[in-house]
Structure 1
């Protein structure tokens, strides 16, 4: 059975106000639950697809800097 995660996420958030959307993002990150990552990925895809080249470059720079200089989590830990 195929499940369209993108469609489901976009359907579930389509009626949210900006404040609700922000709360959902913040709560998802705070919870740190692996099962929420696909939804956050869909949101990042929307941001990426609607960003211009300088904004995309800034996102890549930020990600690269934080990933290469930040603490390395244990992939087998909690």
Structure 2
């Protein structure tokens, strides 16, 4: 992914409230449009990078369990 795209996505949501961030995520998931996937990926990258190792492990467990249910 182009670093300019990462930067643009981060700039686009920087300063958003939790409600606005949630709306962005829910809208991207509900739309199901492929073009939204890079944005969700960037948001996940931000979460992952700021998470503790324990939080990262918890996310991996949730992901693993979620994939088992698909």
Q: Tell me, in whole angstroms, the C-alpha distance in 2 between the residues paired with 1:15 and 1:49.
A: 18
Q: How many residues align?
A: 69
* Aligned CA-pair RMSD: 1.4
* Bigger Cα Rg: 1
Q: Which has the higher helix share?
A: 2
Partner of 2:28: 28
* 1:57-72 equivalent positions in 2, closer than 5 A: 57-67=57-67, 69-71=68-70
TM-score (norm 2): 0.88
| Misfit runs of 4+, over 2 Å | none
Partner of 2:11: 11
Deviations 1:8-59 (A, max 9, x none): 1011111322211111111111111111000000000000000001110010
TM-score (norm 1): 0.80
Structure 1, unmatched stretches of 5+, are 72-78
Q: Tell me, in whole angstroms, the C-alpha distance in 2 between the residues paired with 1:54 and 1:10.
A: 25
Q: Tell me, in whole angstroms, the C-alpha distance in 2 between the residues paired with 1:62 and 1:17.
A: 25
